[in-house]
Amino acid sequence: MYKVGDLAVYPTQGIGVIESIEVKEFSGQRHDFYVLKIVDSDMTILVPVGNARQVGLRSPIEPEHIPAIFELLEETPKFRQPMVSWSRRQREYNEKIKSGDLHGVAEVLRELYQIREGKELSYGEKKVLELARKLLVKEIALAEGAEEVLVYERLEKIFLN
């Protein structure tokens, strides 16, 4: 259960602050909702308290778990042979991002950087890479109390080697 002022991560949107917990009535039944204000946008999301886990709402990563994310990023991904179509990879990438799991987001980012070394990414691939990078950078920066630009630079160093 979150309290007002707590940080929470909403899949595909990133980190937000629980601004309030409101009661709303639907079909004659009362339900509690978290009012989540996403940090880097004007977006506000209502999350049913009873379904928060099912929709993927979670607490931000703990600082002690961040090294495992960077280790994952530094691993060489195991490519499928032959390489599967973009549409299939896109479905898999979107599932990982929608899961809200930061490890899955890191896997998507790592694989797209790897693909980018061999060819120019399509528009769709670039959009997924940007989303994965934004979600990862924002959450790690917040967890470490670091500037986003420094986290971004750490990521770029991993993939430029």
Q: Where are the domains of the chain?
A: 7-51, 63-160
Does CATH place domain 7-51 in 2.40.10.170? Answer: yes
pLDDT digits (tens, 9 = 90+) for 17-75: 999 999 998 888 999 999 999 998 889 999 999 999 999 999 999 999 999 999 999 98
The whole-model pTM stands at: 0.88
Q: How much is the average pLDDT of 109-117?
A: 91
3-state helix, strand, coil in the chain (%, to 5): 50, 20, 30
Three-state SS at 13: coil
User: Is-contact 34 21, C-beta < 8 A?
Assistant: yes
Q: How much is the average pLDDT of 126-139?
A: 96
Q: Which amino acid is at 107?
A: E
**Which fold would CATH assign to domain 63-160?**
Methane Monooxygenase Hydroxylase; Chain G, domain 1 (1.20.58)
